[in-house]
Structure 1
Amino acid sequence: MKKALALCVFTVALVGCKSLVEKGHNLFQAGMYTQSAEYYEQALVEDPHNIEAQKGLAQARNKILDKGLIDVRMLRLGGNQTGATLKLESLLRNQVDWQVEPFGPIANTQSEELAYAAQWLQQQAKLLSQSRFPDKFRYFEHSYSFLISNAQLGSQFVEYRIPLQNKAQMQCQQMMSQATEQRFFLRQFAEKYCMSWSLPQAFKSTGKDPTRYSSISLSPDFTVRLHQTSRQANALNTASLAFKQIFRESLWYSPIGQQTFDLAFQAKLEHSRQAKLVNRQKHYTTVEERINPQDPKKTLDVEVKQAYSYPVTEFTEQFSIDAIYNGTLASQSIEFKVDDSQVHYTQSHHADFPQLGISPVQATFLDVETRLDKQLTTLQTHFKTQLDRIWIETHCNGLIGAQYGEYILRCGKIAPQNEFVNSWFKKQFGLAYHEMAALYAL
């Protein structure tokens, strides 16, 4: 529903906040087929048997396909066959995801564009098979897998397999010769690369990586003074576990790491609440009829001052959190501290005297858990940032060109857009890092 509400705000001028199906209809009429499909999908999440939403979604998706195929044709006629083929591949993937079959003019247009795409794919396959980079052909097959399957070109590409595998064999042997015992990332990549090309190699058993850590030793030191609850104290213990999990999910952690990372986590948490009962008064004047002392047979209206007393409980809260972590990672000291404090006053009473503007008041206490969670989250976020920063400084700066790809691979894990990372991959494999990552799950 959050997504639907966001869309409602975005298109309020056009459709207003009507029902999901109504909004879908209005957007469809406005030619906003993708947006209308999103509303129909939301309606079907709420009610999978909504016939109107089912019909609307089918119509919107057909319009998306129709418009997409027109874009394909315009790209092709404009001389951008690569863009046309990529767009057509995307449309075919959508058809499979949506479980729809084109019909009528849409099917005819798609059939025509498939024929042009098949011809282009055959030309590209032949050209790429002659490249010295076998992975360019593999990425080509990966990028256009739906089109290649639809056009039944797989059997035609079999003739390229042996020449491509021979070229991959050269890459495999080169990496094997370079993947010495201390080049752990290169070794892992080489094993994966060779196996994917059906070129299994006998690698020696690996040793321990002295640059990474196989465990974390966390030393918590908490001082907790709370007035009545232990939930905040438990939050500190949970934060300790979070530090460990963040480290284990970082690139610094590895089962073959040789070191233990020592991290100290100190926190001082105080929250007190003092109550004081006080008696308050509010003075007011009333008019009473009394006997006139000058003439007992008559009466006088006399103003009488009175006081309304009522008990009030006054609360004084004091909250403070000081937390810090510190440790040494890859010979670099890391440390970060957060602190927060507040003195808060509130009160409560049950008095109810509308004529004097007095009504019951309920005390509003500090939201200690939210304040504490905010500071601990800041601490943990900074810790993760520090881990990433030091990894980049260690493996992306200065050493990146050393050890034939070892630091390139380490850097690529966290900085895939790094110029040196991509230049090395293009030089070695003819592809950018993200393209190789798509093939080999780097």
Structure 2
Amino acid sequence: MRNVLVLSMLILTLSGCKSLVEKGHNLFQAGMYTQSAEYYEQALQEDPHDIEAQKGLLQARNKILDKGLIDVRMLRLGGNPTGAAIKLESLLRNQIAWQIEPFGPIANTQTEEIDYATLWLKQRAAQLGQSKFPDQFRYFEHRYAFLISNAQLHSLFTTYRAALQNKAHAQCTRMSTKTTNERFYLRQFTEKYCMAWDLPQELAVITQDPTRYSSIKLTPRFRVNLHRTSRQANSLKTASSELKQIFRESLWYNPVGKNTFKLKFDANLEHTRKAKLVNRHTHFTLVEEKQSKANPSDTLDVEVKKAFRYPVTEFTEQFSVNAKYEGIIAQQQIEFSIDDSQTHYTQSHQADFPQLNIKPIKATFLDVDSKLDKQLTTLQQDFKSQLERVWIDTHCNGLIGAQYGEYILRCGKIAPDNQFVNSWFQKQFGLNYQEMATLYAL
């Protein structure tokens, strides 16, 4: 709690600083090197030639590396060589990205930790080289690519290639025998897998997928009543195009899809504005001097009632939009509707009488464009969510165990953390879905 309070106070202090560089300096002095680097980077985005920001960023990044290497050492000494290797790998990647060459004590510490990591890498490689899953070794090389390069272990690791290749060949052959005309995702995965292991396969050409759609037929029906020609008149047409695009970007669309997805889009849009000119008046009292009737040579102060009249234009706006889409995909009905309406009153006039607190007024009309865009965005977001929901219902909840991984791969596209997806990948390849996706762009 105390740390949070200190951080909050520091942020409040920084908010009053004059420049991004000064904020970076203050954070650096507080030992918050990552945050200070972010401010220096922002300063350099505004002025790439800012010398103070350049120096500050270099110092902050060196401190990040120094602190990171301390973390590496603590992880190693704490009996967590895997965590130490992961942290060291990230530091090496940052050095390349930042174009920093460590020097002095930092360089010495890094060299020492790379030596310790090298021993662990060799041991881990020997273990994975004996595994029945060749992809574990492949992912190991990917995950620690910079560390392996620094440790110059590539030539040593080539000794495992022949055995790994044989295991991958068996896996590739097994997958190839399972790729039928209806297993499109499995076929794509098999092609990538075998090619990555230099084992290209002659697989049957995909012709048609009866579970997906190669096109969308959208039937719009709009009823529009607007008080004037404006951007609103085209908003519904734009929404129609965006619904089509959302579908084409979904997993349901594929050029080899057999079907055409039919979607109805009905919308009523009304925005009227009526103006009425009215005369208003405000009574007030003035004190005027008038001649006394009793004594014409004298004057008297007399209160005189008067009225200030001025024209006012009153506006009444009526806005309403209701829209609905509906269609059937994978034998499931999807639909959603929006409904919004509002009556708005405003007025304007040019009268100016400060003594009566009457000043000119400009009418404030509804921001119909924003209201309409907000509603249509909600409809589009729901359309995307519904497409994803039906995909999950179809490929994750019902048939996930069918067709030797076809539905596992389909489900993984949208639910990579699904328990069944990951258990299948662990059983087949010794890695989870995300790790395999990293290797083979699933």
TM over 0.5: yes
Q: Is the counterpart of residue 19 in structure 1 residue 19 in structure 2?
A: yes
Residue aligned with 1:258, SS: strand
8 Å contact from structure 1 (residues 23, 39) kept in 2: yes
TM-score, normalised relative to structure 2: 0.97
Q: Match of 1:172?
A: 172
What aligned pairs does 1:291-306 form with structure 2 within 5 A after superposition?
A: 291-306=291-306
Pair 1:9–1:200, CA change in 2 (3 A): farther
Pair 1:371–1:172, CA change in 2 (3 A): same
Q: Match of 1:397?
A: 397
Pair 1:58–1:158, CA change in 2 (3 A): same
Q: Match of 2:46?
A: 46
Residue aligned with 2:177, SS: helix
Residue aligned with 2:296, SS: strand
8 Å contact from structure 1 (residues 15, 26) kept in 2: no
Q: Match of 1:360?
A: 360
Amino acid at match of 1:20: L
Amino acid at match of 2:107: A
> Could you tell me the percent identity over the aligned residues?
72
Q: Match of 1:329?
A: 329
Moved more, 403-412 or 222-231: 222-231
Amino acid at match of 2:230: S
Cα drift, residue 9 of structure 1: 9.9
Deviations 1:321-378 (A, max 9, x none): 0100000010011110001100000000111000001001000000000000000000
8 Å contact from structure 1 (residues 8, 17) kept in 2: no
Amino acid at match of 1:210: P
Q: Match of 1:388?
A: 388
Q: Match of 1:3?
A: none
Alpha-carbon distance in 2 for matches of 1:368, 1:124: 63
Q: Match of 1:4?
A: none
What aligned pairs does 1:130-279 form with structure 2 within 5 A after superposition?
A: 130-279=130-279
Q: Match of 1:93?
A: 93
Cα drift, residue 301 of structure 1: 1.5
Amino acid at match of 1:343: T
Cα drift, residue 293 of structure 1: 1.4
Amino acid at match of 2:399: L
Alpha-carbon distance in 2 for matches of 1:9, 1:339: 45
Alpha-carbon distance in 1 for matches of 2:27, 2:81: 31
Q: Match of 2:103?
A: 103
Amino acid at match of 1:76: R
Q: Match of 1:289?
A: 289
8 Å contact from structure 1 (residues 15, 27) kept in 2: no
What aligned pairs does 1:4-15 form with structure 2 within 5 A after superposition?
A: 11-13=11-13
Unaligned runs of 5+ in 2: 1-6
Alpha-carbon distance in 2 for matches of 1:386, 1:8: 41
Cα drift, residue 119 of structure 1: 1.1
What aligned pairs does 1:118-129 form with structure 2 within 5 A after superposition?
A: 118-129=118-129
Cα drift, residue 398 of structure 1: 2.1
Number of residues paired by the alignment?
A: 436
Unaligned runs of 5+ in 1: 1-6
Q: Is the counterpart of residue 419 in structure 1 residue 399 in structure 2?
A: no
Cα drift, residue 294 of structure 1: 1.8
Alpha-carbon distance in 2 for matches of 1:301, 1:115: 105
Alpha-carbon distance in 1 for matches of 2:229, 2:96: 55
Amino acid at match of 1:133: F
Residue aligned with 1:321, SS: strand
Amino acid at match of 2:285: T
Alpha-carbon distance in 2 for matches of 1:410, 1:20: 47
Cα drift, residue 300 of structure 1: 1.7
Pair 1:230–1:15, CA change in 2 (3 A): closer
Amino acid at match of 2:26: N
Deviations 1:225-284 (A, max 9, x none): 111123101111110110010000000000110000000111110000011111110010
Alpha-carbon distance in 1 for matches of 2:356, 2:25: 57
Deviations 1:111-155 (A, max 9, x none): 000011111111111110100000000000000000111111001
Alpha-carbon distance in 1 for matches of 2:138, 2:181: 29
Cα drift, residue 13 of structure 1: 3.7
Pair 1:9–1:178, CA change in 2 (3 A): farther
Pair 1:328–1:164, CA change in 2 (3 A): same
Pair 1:419–1:10, CA change in 2 (3 A): farther
Alpha-carbon distance in 1 for matches of 2:206, 2:75: 51
Residue aligned with 2:271, SS: strand
Amino acid at match of 1:200: P
8 Å contact from structure 1 (residues 165, 197) kept in 2: yes
Deviations 1:58-92 (A, max 9, x none): 00000000000011011111110000000000000
Cα drift, residue 8 of structure 1: 10
Alpha-carbon distance in 1 for matches of 2:12, 2:216: 51
8 Å contact from structure 1 (residues 16, 23) kept in 2: no
Alpha-carbon distance in 2 for matches of 1:173, 1:438: 22
Moved more, 180-189 or 15-24: 15-24
Q: Match of 1:56?
A: 56
Q: Which runs of 4+ in 1 moved over 4 A?
A: 7-10
Cα drift, residue 288 of structure 1: 1.2
Alpha-carbon distance in 2 for matches of 1:319, 1:380: 21
TM-score, normalised relative to structure 1: 0.97
Cα drift, residue 16 of structure 1: 3.4
Deviations 1:10-55 (A, max 9, x none): 8124563431000100000000000000000000000000000000
Cα drift, residue 291 of structure 1: 1.4
